[in-house]
Amino acid sequence: MPASSSVVQELLAKLVAFDTTSAKSNLKLIEFVSTYLGGYGIAATLIPAPDGAKVNLFASIGPAGKGGIGLSGHSDCVPVEGQTWSSDPFALQLRDGQLYGRGTCDMKGFLACVLASVPLFTSRPLKEPVHIILSYDEEAGCTGVRPLIARLGHDLPRPRVIIVGEPTNMAVIDAHKRIDAYRTTVTGREAHSSLPRLGVNAISFAAELIEELDRIGAKLSTSETNDRFDPPASTVQVGTIEGGTAPNIVPKTCKFQWQVRSLPDADPKVAPERIKVFAEEKLRPRMRVVARTASIETLHQGSVPAFLAKPGSEAVALALALTHANATRAVSYATEAGLFEEAGCPTVICGPGDIEQAHAADEFVTTAQLDACTAFLAKLAELLS
Ligand SMILES: [Zn+2]
């Protein structure tokens, strides 16, 4: 029997009540999960961040030894600041079969289903272990899980298969795009705004760079396409911009952050290389006529690898069997799946909820999706015993 939906909802209410926005600590949530698992005689290994403010959790149920199935999720969620919610985002609310709260969809709903299924796993004579993997800072570039992954196959068991329970409406996802994040800083020269020829306007030059990024994006949209993805090509977009101090000063500095989301087979360096050439050849000479110290610097802030399951992946085969599906899909958002796959663990993404509700105001997951997930986990327990 799958875990009851009332137990899942009780657990989800507790998980949602912990404000685990990525910038904050997740220690209280992890403590709750450790204590819960301890109640079933399951010991958890905690892998803390260097500053100790956040922690990953790894716990195994069933026979010790190699292999097993990893059920993986992240404990953090995105901020609610600036969003208009109809109810308290940290108090779970059920309205018309939809459970509202920050993280319900992405991805505490999955975690609640996994925790609610623990008694099912412990009551069965499992032939191989189930591992619960819970990370931090997924929403901050998938950085938290990396030290945990480094220990798989060393002092932590390496799962035979990893299921990442990100919201897919329980569809089986075998590929996603790559993310590269950049910050560009334009340094010009300040001047009185009545004498703009004496200054180098950093905002104006940044605007030219951004226009060029849009042109690069337009070229990428037709140069290499894969219809499995929506949109079907690599994309470029600027996310933040800041610059200037006052309307009557030619601005000296402008910074903007941008991202490239690349198809798994595409070269992720095309956009940064083209923007570098544009900056060096088209903009810098014009800037330096006025100020020799003027510069354009682009820093690579980090990346999340693409995910592409190998042909015949046992993770994909398992998820297809558990969901009775016969086809896989690809998505454009990134997850920790690429990191697991890179580390040699066959991985698949399959979890409750719709990505359209993730990160949004009034985020929700339907009770039907949670029921589908607990049925999936019950079937897994059956299959492993
Ligand atoms: Zn997520």
- What's the confidence (pLDDT) of residue 54? 97
> Which residue is listed with tokens 């589908």?
372
Residues, CB-to-ion distance under 5 Å, ligand 1: 106-107, 166
- What's the confidence (pLDDT) of residue 248? 97
- In the reported structure, the alpha carbon of residue 145 is separated from the centroid of ligand 1 by a whole-number distance in angstroms of 13
- What's the confidence (pLDDT) of residue 51? 93
- In the reported structure, the alpha carbon of residue 169 is separated from the centroid of ligand 1 by a whole-number distance in angstroms of 13
The C-alpha angle with vertex 91 and arms to 88 and 96, in degrees rounded to 5, equals 90
Grouping H, G, I as helix, E, B as strand and the rest as coil, residue 370 is helix
- Nearest in space to 36 (alpha carbons), one of 6, 61, 65, 73: 61
Q: Are the C-beta atoms of 375 and 170 separated by less than 8 Å?
A: no
Provide the 8-state DSSP code for 83.
Answer: -
Element (H, E) at 59: strand 55-61
- In the reported structure, the alpha carbon of residue 80 is separated from the centroid of ligand 1 by a whole-number distance in angstroms of 15
Cα atoms found within 13 Å of the Cα of residue 235, Cβ hemisphere only: 10
- What's the confidence (pLDDT) of residue 168? 97
- In the reported structure, the alpha carbon of residue 46 is separated from the centroid of ligand 1 by a whole-number distance in angstroms of 20
Q: How many residues does the chain have?
A: 385
Computed on alpha carbons and rounded to an integer, the radius of gyration of the chain in Å comes to: 24
- Token pair of 71 as six digits: 């059920």
Q: Are the C-beta atoms of 177 and 306 separated by less than 8 Å?
A: yes
Which residues participate in catalysis according to the annotation?
76, 138
User: In angstroms, rounded to a whole number, what is the distance separating the alpha carbons of residues 163 and 165?
Assistant: 6
User: In angstroms, rounded to a whole number, what is the distance separating the alpha carbons of residues 163 and 166?
Assistant: 9
Looking only at the bridges linking them, the beta strands covering 69-74 and 161-164 are parallel
Per-residue pLDDT of the chain (385 residues; tens, 9 = 90+): 899 999 999 999 999 999 999 999 999 999 999 999 999 999 999 999 999 999 999 999 999 877 999 999 999 999 999 999 999 999 999 999 999 999 999 999 999 999 999 999 999 999 999 999 999 999 999 999 999 999 999 999 999 999 999 999 999 999 999 999 999 999 999 999 999 999 999 999 999 999 999 999 999 999 999 999 999 999 999 999 999 999 999 999 999 999 999 999 999 999 999 999 999 999 999 999 999 999 999 999 999 999 999 999 999 999 999 999 999 999 999 999 999 999 999 999 999 999 999 999 999 999 999 999 999 999 999 999 9
Grouping H, G, I as helix, E, B as strand and the rest as coil, residue 259 is strand
Question: Could you tell me how far CA 80 lies from the centroid of its own chain?
Answer: 17
Give per-residue pLDDT as tens, 209-265.
999 999 999 999 999 999 999 999 999 999 999 999 999 999 999 999 999 999 999
- Token pair of 192 as six digits: 């009185």
Q: How many helices (H) and strands (E) does the chain have?
A: 11, 18
Q: Are the C-beta atoms of 46 and 34 separated by less than 8 Å?
A: yes
Q: What are phi and psi of 108, to 5 degrees?
A: -75, -20
Q: Are the C-beta atoms of 205 and 283 separated by less than 8 Å?
A: yes
- What's the confidence (pLDDT) of residue 66? 73
The C-alpha angle with vertex 298 and arms to 296 and 300, in degrees rounded to 5, equals 175
The answer for residues whose C-beta is within 8 angstroms of residue 311's C-beta and 6 or more apart is: none
The answer for residues whose C-beta is within 8 angstroms of residue 295's C-beta and 6 or more apart is: 185, 186, 187, 284, 287
Q: What burial letters (b/e) apply to 176-194, b meaning 16+ CB within 10 Å?
A: bbbbbbbebbbbbbbbeee
Grouping H, G, I as helix, E, B as strand and the rest as coil, residue 290 is helix
- Nearest in space to 142 (alpha carbons), one of 373, 341, 319: 341
- In the reported structure, the alpha carbon of residue 335 is separated from the centroid of ligand 1 by a whole-number distance in angstroms of 7
